[in-house]
Amino acid sequence: MAPYIGTATSRVDGIAKVTGGAKYAAEVNVQGLAHASVVGATIAKGRIRRIDTSAATGISGVLTVLTHDNRPPMANDDQAYKDEVAPDGTPYRPLYDGRIMFNGQPIALVVAETAEVARYAAALVRVDYHEDAHVTDVYRQRDAAVPIRVPSNPLEAMFAPPKPRGTPDQALAAAAVRHEGEYFVPIEHHNPMELYASTVIFEADGKLTVYDKTQGVQNVQRYVCSVFGMAPQDVRVMSPFMGGGFGSGLRPQFQVVLAVLAARALRRSVRLVLTRPQMYALGYRPAMIQRIAIGANSGGTLDAITHDAVTVTSQYENFYRQETGWSGLLYKSANARYVHRLAQLDLATACDMRAPSAASAVYALESAMDELAVALKLDPLELRLRCYSDRDQHEDRPYGSKALRECYRQGAAAFGWDKRNPAPRSMRDGSDLIGWGMATGVWEALQMPITVRIALTANGHAEVACATSDIGTGTYTIMAQVAADMLGLPLDNISIKLGDSSLPQSPVEGGSWIATSVANGIATTAGAIRDEVLRLAKQIPNSPLANAAPDQVVLADGKLVSRRDSSRAVPIADALRQGALDRIELEQTTNPASDHSRANNTHSAIFAEVKVDEELGVIRVTRVVSAVAAGRILNTKTASSQILGGVVWGIGMALHEETLIDHKFGRIMNANIAEYHVPVNADIGDIKVIFVDEPDNSNPLGLKGVGEIGIVGVAAAVANAVFHATGKRVRDLPITLDKLLG
């Protein structure tokens, strides 16, 4: 049987998705379901003086209107609201008290017999506020930004800026060629297709089954239990399908708290679906003001790099990732320094958004490198090759694998980079200026502890279970592929159970770590299954595998087979019959290797072509080549889709996306997908994805993950192409035509 791993296997859940068989959080229907609608604050900061719900309550069909005044009890200590990925600080508590900390903050929940009545009645809630002065403009808060205080939580401490090295200021001052620039990335929002929703099923005994849109069912389960003082066995959280998360669903979101609150108050099942505008109050990619300085010698190698950044967070939690660290990692430089401060604004806390930190920081780094290449009169690709680093300079250690050189080579060849005329404004197509730009991408290759249960039945079927989510990336499919190969069964004989908090332990699906974690987890448990089949097979009289050791046999074609002599085999059915079993069920936990002697990263090289209308400044991205090194690729089809989506998003980051705030009101003005621009089909040209070969043995399957690497560097490649086309450098995303013509 040919292996499934590495092939372009179509999604095993594809038919369920296109036929509507796959039910999302807002689609689960039960008898007697009530519907809730959120009322959001219309000020950015202050407190509620009085909230008048009488008009709403008086509407026929309204069951209750919950506010901080009349809600059921909730935990009153910060720790209870700290989820698995909570940043340092004091987590927001939905409907807890009358304080307003961000515009759009939920302040009341109307529950009614129908969604329409709930929504109408929500419009009738009247609020009298005491308003305090607010600040929502990162530039206004820039000077007051606070340095990162490294928290005790080890997960968060991981994101503190790396240690500086050498004497960067002296090296910069002495450098033959210097480039220094300030770059800006605005606040951006996730905008997944599926709206945020929770359907809470109130069981007869008061237990809850919560269908929630989340990237981590067990994170939500623990959170709901601690906020409401419930026992783990009384709360089951389900998220079998998810229409995109991109990081917005890593932390439990307020809709799940509100839906549970209502279900407990009414002792009835409740659904809450947020509107698209309401989703803009959930979290966002933090804006980032960043100053990069690079000192180089005339030969095009780096002497020093410094990266100073201000990112945005709320007044109550310090969210950040390792924004500045990427600069000292990617290129060889003996001297490096990082400063990262937080502008605390009257907004909801920022959160992870696809390739958090890297998408923003590498945009600046790779723009700065392009500017340095111009200053050095060097081809930008050649500059990257001269600065190439074979070691992780933060920890001074080699990489487990790093095939970035091959990404540059294959990407450049596929794009035709050698035909580039280096002079800006030198390439044309009629009234369009043509620009070619390139950039590097980098992300982490992480593995997390995970537990996988496999039940193998005598008829050659297997059920594989783990509480991970599939946020739309294809987790069901890669799990089935790995299980089929490891158990030697056809793909159709594998069923996958995930997205259920009662299943074996999984971390949230994020950080590009799930494919690596769950696939190696399946391999571990499948190995234990094989050992058990072998133990039984050996008991068969005159067993052909009587003397075989576990590493000498494999499961293949429904049999346990000797690696050395394939004629020596025992069908799974025979082995189980020997043990008088109809199934073997085992559960194993897999931890990542504790070897920290090597660094694990994914890399990419992105080449972009833009055509810019010379008179109108309209920019079109006509071609992109993304060459990615991410270890072994489990599924070339779903992995390509991840990279394609990342490239599209990078184009959006470069040219379209920007959350606009009216700072007078501290309110997002374009909280909808009509005015928050993302690329549409007409904005997208030809995108070619290449996976270069990158053998890696940092984990048994040689995996690295591809969820995030696709977006990193894309905005810079496009921005650099715009410079090459026009001779104008815009350092303030998105690059809109007014900035280009201005």
Question: x/- binding map, residues 209-228, to ligand MOS, per CB under 6 A?
Answer: ------x-------------
519 or 576: whose CB is closer to ligand MOS? 519
Q: Closer CB to ligand MOS, residue 252 or residue 380?
A: 252
In the numeric block, which tokens belong to residue 18?
Answer: 């296109």
Of residues 628-657, which lie at the interface with ligand MOS (CB under 6 A)? none
Site for ligand MOS in 223-252 (CB under 6 A): 245-247, 250
Smallest distance from the beta carbon of 245 to ligand MOS, in angstroms?
5
Which residue number, 356 or 499, has a Cβ lying nearer to ligand MOS?
A: 356
**DSSP 8-state class, residue 52:** E
- Name the minimum Å distance from CB 246 to ligand MOS: 6
Residue 345 gets which letter from DSSP?
A: -
Site string for ligand MOS, 347-376 (x = CB under 6 A): -----xxx-x--------------------
The helix (H) or strand (E) run that includes residue 720 is helix 714-726
Q: Give the footprint of ligand MOS on residues 668-687 (CB under 6 A).
A: none
DSSP 605-661: EEEEEEEEETTT--EEEEEEEEEEE-BS-SBHHHHHHHHHHHHHHHHHHHHT----E
Q: Give min distance, CB of 474 to ligand MOS, in A.
A: 14
Q: Is 303 in the site for ligand MOS (CB under 6 A)?
A: no
The DSSP call for residue 540 is S
Q: How many residues are there in the chain?
A: 742
Considering the complex, state which of residue 250 and residue 629 has its C-beta at the smaller distance from ligand MOS.
250
**Cα 184 to Cα 189, 325, 605, distances in angstroms:** 16, 17, 22
Closest to ligand MOS by CB, 278 vs 642, is 642
Residues contacting 703, CB < 8 A, separation 6+: 445, 515, 516, 519, 520, 631, 632, 634, 696
Total site size for ligand MOS, rule CB under 6 A: 11
**Residue 165, burial from CB neighbour count under 10 angstroms (0-12, 13-18, 19+):** middle
CA dihedral 135, 140, 142, 144 (to 10 degrees): -60
480 and 12 in contact (C-beta within 8 Å)? yes
Rank residues 100 and 508 by Cβ distance to ligand MOS and give the closer one. Answer: 508
Tokens coding 49: 């003086």
Contact by Cβ (8 Å): 52, 127? yes
What residues pair up with 494 in beta bridges, in sequence order? 462
Q: State which residue, 211 or 443, has the beta carbon closest to ligand MOS.
A: 443
Three-class SS of residue 486?
A: helix
Bridge partners (DSSP) of residue 451 are 589
Q: Which residues inside 15-74 make contact with ligand MOS, applying CB under 6 A?
A: none
CB within 8 Å of 292: residues ≥ 6 apart: 179, 180, 181, 183, 305, 306, 307, 308, 327, 364, 365, 368
What's the min distance (Å) between Cβ of 468 and ligand MOS?
12
CB of 511 to ligand MOS, least distance (A): 4
Query: Quick one: 578 or 642, whose CB is closer to ligand MOS?
Result: 642
- Cα angle, residue 372 at apex, residues 369 and 376 outer, rounded to 5°: 140
Q: Is 445 in the site for ligand MOS (CB under 6 A)?
A: no
Q: Phi/psi at 532 (nearest 5 deg)?
A: -70, -40
For the question of residue 708 being annotated catalytic, the response is: yes
Check 194, 509, 694, 708 and give the catalytic one.
Answer: 708
Q: What is the dihedral of CA 213, 218, 222, 224, to 10 degrees?
A: 20
Residues sharing a CB contact under 8 Å with residue 145, sequence separation 6 or more, in sequence order? 310, 341, 342, 343, 344
By beta-carbon proximity to ligand MOS, the closer residue of 354 and 420 is 354
CB of 59 vs ligand MOS, minimal distance in Å: 39
CB of 160 to ligand MOS, least distance (A): 18
Contact between 510 and ligand MOS by CB under 6 A: the answer reads yes
Q: Choose the stretch contacting ligand MOS; rule: CB under 6 A; options: 200-208, 286-294, 346-354, 558-566.
A: 346-354
The distance of closest approach from Cβ of residue 558 to ligand MOS in the complex, given in angstroms and rounded to an integer, is 37
Sign of CA pseudo-dihedral 577, 580, 582, 587 = negative
250 to 289, contacts with ligand MOS by CB under 6 A? 250
At 19, which amino acid appears? T
- Residue 417, CA distances (Å) to 379, 413, 421, 592, 638 in order: 10, 7, 9, 39, 27
Could you give the CA distance from residue 503 to residue 653 in angstroms, rounded to a whole number? 37
Identity of the residue, 286 or 356, whose beta carbon is nearer to ligand MOS in the bound complex:
356
Residue 695: CB minimum distance to ligand MOS, A: 26
CB of 142 to ligand MOS, least distance (A): 25
DSSP for 417-480?
GGG---STT-EEETTEEEEEEEEEEEEE-----EEEEEEEETTS-EEEE------SSSHHHHHH
Q: Among 511, 631, 702, 705, indicate the residue that binds ligand MOS (CB under 6 A).
A: 511
DSSP code, position 197: E
**Given the complex with ligand MOS, which of 354 and 598 has the nearer CB atom?**
354
Supply the minimum distance, in Å, between the C-beta of residue 471 and ligand MOS: 7
Residue ranges that bind ligand MOS, judged by CB under 6 A: 215, 245-247, 250, 352-354, 356, 510-511
Residues recognised as catalytic? 708
